[in-house]
Chains A and B, each alone.
Chain A
Amino acid sequence: MRTRELARVGLTLYSETFPSGMEAHVLPLPGYQKAHATLSAHYGSLDSHFVTPEGREVEVPAGIAHFLEHKLFESKDGSVMDRFSELGAFSNAYTNFTSTTYLFSATWEIEACLTLLMDFVQSARFTPESVAKEQGIIGQELRMYEDNPAWRVFHNLLEGLYARHPVRIDIGGTQESIREITPELLDICYRTFYHPSNLVFFAAGNLDPERTLHIVGEHIKGGAPRGPIQRLSPDEPREALEGRKEARMPVGVPLFEVGWKDGGVGGDLRKEIATSLMLETFIGRSTPLYQDLYAKGLLTDRFAPGYFSGPDFGVVLMGSDTQDVKGLETALLKAVDTARRSGLDEEIFRRCQRREIGETLALFDDPESVAHAFTDMVHKGQDLFEMLDLLGTISMDEVRERLSLLGEENRTVSVVLPREG
């Protein structure tokens, strides 16, 4: 067991790498009632083209990682969620572009919950009946998103930015693609991506680190570590596929989003933080730009800029609902040009740095948030616990350099307008 003192937050992290290749980390939070634990597979919606452990190259239908997540909740003893409820625990899971994460939170029976989490993620059973049933449920889940303009404006943005990269396809897949999913295909994905070498355990809260790591170690199935999985990704041009995407939906207020793509920052956390700080310094709450656009009624406090990235993609995006799509677009893009020519304000940068420090400290007060941030970063090769150390050392030059991301050729504007007539 390795320990690491996190002096800035007054906590200690306990870690272990098991012989099977699985990594586990425990962050005890003194004073907490709750333990929040996650077991996360480095397997998301992007991984639709890969090489199986037997050396066969396969392409699987879109949405299968998410489908598989749903199916793991069915065990030979019935619903896994019910088993957690019997222990008085809350359980859930989520799939994103790069990972699938299973979680529980409990204030007691934590050891039994840990065992259950380890066991259910590491066993699978797919039958044609249960696959058919899930198609109905996920079909409604996708419909729910399809009717959601915020989802549409975001999804269209990615479709406009990317020509070939699978980030352009929705995490849940499509009504058609989920119909192509079979027990055999689920099995191939499961055998490829759920080996312990490809899983990371993280827990925070009311936990005994030694005991927790011991239970995790005892319940790992599968022997020797495996090498990295070969994931195949198409070549993506640097330019956006389309400059503009427009959709019409029954909305009360139009939605606007603009995005810029790059190749991502991979494991480079400094660069990731610099990108966030660049966005905050450019258009955060206390900038004259934000204040001006707010005063003109072009945006509301639902406007938030962000950068999200994976192993080989990255997107800056910003937007919100707005009564004046044209006005917001014009003002924003003009401000981008100005910033690229004359740079950013150093005083605002220092202030944003302070706020980021406050926000990062706040993460550690919430077991869910810290677990979420950790798993999100670990699959990219980034280390959450370096954040606070790095934040104060990022220079204005590094931040300024990231402005070059906001170009013209790599940009897409996505809008959702009300129905005509």
Chain B
Amino acid sequence: METSLPNGVKVVAMPTTSFRMVTVRVIWRLEMGPETTAQALVPMVLRRGSRRLPASQDLTAAFESLYGASFDVDAQKMGNAHLLIAEVEVPSDRYLPEPVEGETLKLFQEVLTDPLLVGGAFDPEYIRQEKSALRQTLQSIVNDKGQYAHMKMLEAMFEGDPYSQTRYGTLDALDGTDDEDIFRAYRLVRDEAPLHIYAVGDIDAERFTEEALELFGGLPDRRERGLVPPHGAGGEKVKELTETEDVGQGKLVLGYRTASSVFDPGYTALGVANGIFGAYSHSKLFRNVREKASLAYYASSRVDGFKGLLTVQSGIDPATRERTLGIIGEQLEDVRNGKFTDDEMAMTVKTMENQLRAQEDSPASLIMTHYQLTLAGRPFSLPERLRRLREITREDVQEAARGIRLDTVFFLTKGEAAS
């Protein structure tokens, strides 16, 4: 059940008896930009204390007392949109000796809209702590070499585009972010940002919507804004970057621009092309880089449909960079030229169908799938999505693959650590 409250807040209630838990997730949408870091800090600071429960410990304890399995906040990138997310998961009343659902939503609303304010601003001590925690999160990205290589590839490929940042922004931006910046971002969240409230579980959809109206209906009016499809063609020449570090395994990350995105009809075919190329264990990358050439433990591709981006990642022996790149290039070329069997095509379509159906089994996937498809202007109905998938032809796949163009190659390899 989808409702737009008078103030523009969207409420989506998905009642189902499949789950024992009730998941409530709110999503605010902002833009990636110079304020990404300040924006990402907003939910982190909100989580620390509300007006009624200013002490962090009391707030956490309150959720635990409601049998709360989780109370999480995070930020995500969806193309150049910046999503701020808060979620709580509690058992449905029918599995507990005492009801907690109503209390939970109230507490959640309180944390999100009635924060602890000191002299009209956020508590500076909480801000200091959250900035320090975020600094450490950003500094520790390099601890995971695969994640680090991915970040460096994006920085090079999208130079000058805010998408080049992580979902938390950058360390430099963090150093330049002060208390006022964060409070300004909060005002944007509170007063303007498109807001969706989702609930999945054994709930009464109408009652939930009424409760949401009561709790969130007083927020300032906001308007849904359309998303901008990706643009930017990239350079003519492939950018190649290498960084050395004291590692045993090289991390190869390739960035490709795709001609189609979630905003156009060709996107379904791109999904299939990506499946034949590298997304699965039957895909060409896994078969040829791993199983045939024994070069890697992992070699795979994935698509960010909101950005028109396809990435390939693999962990290899530093000496085999050229050979691996050669094999990766050949595989994509084969998809473009129709050198894939009907079997490869059928396996990919079936695997994707399986994934689409399985989304229904996870509250988080249900919510995010609904959110993304709605914003992309695509149908949410499962039968309709399955139908579109089954209609894809070999020619559609080849065409989508021809629209995939290599832009950037980043290689983290063994050598003297760069200082």
Report whether B20 and A250 are in contact in the complex, using a CB–CB cutoff of 8 Å: no
Q: Which residues of B contact A253 (CB under 8 A)?
A: 136, 139-140, 143
Per-residue A-contact encoding for B156-175, CB less than 8 Å = 1, 0 else: 00000000000000000000
Report whether B296 and A30 are in contact in the complex, using a CB–CB cutoff of 8 Å: no
Q: Which residues of B contact A34 (CB under 8 A)?
A: 357-358, 361
Report whether B354 and A364 are in contact in the complex, using a CB–CB cutoff of 8 Å: no
Most-contacted residue by chain B among A91, A148, A250 (CB, 10 A): A250
A141 at the interface (CB under 8 A from B): yes
Q: Which residues of A contact B190 (CB under 8 A)?
A: none
B315 at the interface (CB under 8 A from A): yes
Per-residue B-contact encoding for A103-137, CB less than 8 Å = 1, 0 else: 00111100000000000000000000000011011
Q: Tell me whether chain A's interface is mostly helix, strand or loop, or mixed.
A: mixed
Q: Please tell me the size bucket of the interface on A.
A: 35 or more
A315 at the interface (CB under 8 A from B): no
A362 at the interface (CB under 8 A from B): yes
B281 at the interface (CB under 8 A from A): yes
Q: Which residues of B contact A177 (CB under 8 A)?
A: none
B91 at the interface (CB under 8 A from A): yes
Known: A107-B358, A357-B67, A358-B69. A147 touches B145 (CB 8 A): yes
Report whether A364 and B143 are in contact in the complex, using a CB–CB cutoff of 8 Å: no
In the complex, A79→B281 CA distance in Å?
10
Q: Which residues of B contact A39 (CB under 8 A)?
A: none
Q: Which residues of A contact B16 (CB under 8 A)?
A: 31
Report whether B90 and A141 are in contact in the complex, using a CB–CB cutoff of 8 Å: no
Report whether A358 and B282 are in contact in the complex, using a CB–CB cutoff of 8 Å: no
Report whether A105 and B358 are in contact in the complex, using a CB–CB cutoff of 8 Å: yes
Report whether B60 and A359 are in contact in the complex, using a CB–CB cutoff of 8 Å: no
Q: Which residues of A contact B296 (CB under 8 A)?
A: 137, 140
A199 at the interface (CB under 8 A from B): no
Name which of B176-184, B242-250, B261-269, B300-308 contacts chain A. Answer: B242-250
Report whether B60 and A285 are in contact in the complex, using a CB–CB cutoff of 8 Å: yes
Instruction: With CB as the reference atom, state the residue of chain B lying closest to A140.
Output: B297
B1 at the interface (CB under 8 A from A): no
Within the complex, the shortest CB–CB distance from A81 to chain B, in Å, comes to 4
Name which of A304-312, A348-356, A378-386 contacts chain B. Answer: A348-356
Report whether B354 and A89 are in contact in the complex, using a CB–CB cutoff of 8 Å: yes
Q: Which residues of A contact B317 (CB under 8 A)?
A: 140, 143
Within the complex, the shortest CB–CB distance from A93 to chain B, in Å, comes to 11
Q: Which residues of B contact A322 (CB under 8 A)?
A: 136
Report whether B129 and A90 are in contact in the complex, using a CB–CB cutoff of 8 Å: no
Q: Which residues of B contact A82 (CB under 8 A)?
A: 281-282, 347
Q: Which residues of B contact A237 (CB under 8 A)?
A: none
In the complex, A107→B281 CA distance in Å?
18
Instruction: With CB as the reference atom, state the residue of chain B lying closest to A392.
Output: B97
Per-residue B-contact encoding for A13-37, CB less than 8 Å = 1, 0 else: 0000000000000000111111000
Report whether A33 and B360 are in contact in the complex, using a CB–CB cutoff of 8 Å: yes
Report whether B17 and A140 are in contact in the complex, using a CB–CB cutoff of 8 Å: no
Partner of A361, one of B20, B60, B315, B351: B20
Report whether B248 and A147 are in contact in the complex, using a CB–CB cutoff of 8 Å: yes
Report whether B358 and A251 are in contact in the complex, using a CB–CB cutoff of 8 Å: no
Known: A140-B297, A252-B139. A351 touches B354 (CB 8 A): no
Known: A32-B18, A33-B360. A355 touches B68 (CB 8 A): yes
Within the complex, the shortest CB–CB distance from B307 to chain A, in Å, comes to 26
Q: Which residues of B contact A361 (CB under 8 A)?
A: 20-21, 67, 69, 91, 95
Report whether B57 and A205 are in contact in the complex, using a CB–CB cutoff of 8 Å: no
Q: Which residues of A contact B68 (CB under 8 A)?
A: 355, 358
B376 at the interface (CB under 8 A from A): no
B127 at the interface (CB under 8 A from A): no
Report whether A321 and B20 are in contact in the complex, using a CB–CB cutoff of 8 Å: no
B334 at the interface (CB under 8 A from A): no
Within the complex, the shortest CB–CB distance from B241 to chain A, in Å, comes to 18
B142 at the interface (CB under 8 A from A): yes
A300 at the interface (CB under 8 A from B): yes
Instruction: With CB as the reference atom, state the residue of chain A lying closest to B67.
Output: A358
Residues in B320-365 with C-beta less than 8 Å from chain A: 343, 346-348, 350-351, 353-354, 357-358, 360-363
In the complex, A81→B249 CA distance in Å?
26
Instruction: With CB as the reference atom, state the residue of chain A lying closest to B355.
Output: A90
Residues in B36-75 with C-beta less than 8 Å from chain A: 56-57, 60-61, 64-70
Q: Which residues of B contact A147 (CB under 8 A)?
A: 145, 247-249
Report whether B248 and A143 are in contact in the complex, using a CB–CB cutoff of 8 Å: yes
In the complex, A79→B61 CA distance in Å?
50
A149 at the interface (CB under 8 A from B): yes
Known: A34-B361, A88-B351, A143-B315. A354 touches B65 (CB 8 A): yes
Report whether A33 and B361 are in contact in the complex, using a CB–CB cutoff of 8 Å: yes
Instruction: With CB as the reference atom, state the residue of chain A lying closest to B296.
Output: A140
Most-contacted residue by chain B among A140, A359, A419 (CB, 10 A): A140
Report whether A33 and B350 are in contact in the complex, using a CB–CB cutoff of 8 Å: no
Chain B residues near A (Cβ < 8 Å): 16-21, 56-57, 60-61, 64-70, 89-91, 94-95, 125, 129, 132-133, 136-137, 139-146, 245-249, 280-282, 287, 290-291, 294-298, 315-317, 343, 346-348, 350-351, 353-354, 357-358, 360-363, 417
- 16 examples of A-B residue contacts, CB within 8 angstroms: A9-B20, A33-B358, A34-B358, A79-B287, A136-B294, A140-B249, A141-B297, A143-B317, A147-B248, A253-B139, A300-B136, A301-B133, A321-B143, A358-B66, A362-B69, A362-B70
Given known contacts A107-B358, A140-B316, A358-B66, what 7 new A-B pairs fall within 8 Å (CB)?
Answer: A82-B281, A146-B248, A147-B247, A286-B60, A295-B129, A358-B90, A364-B20
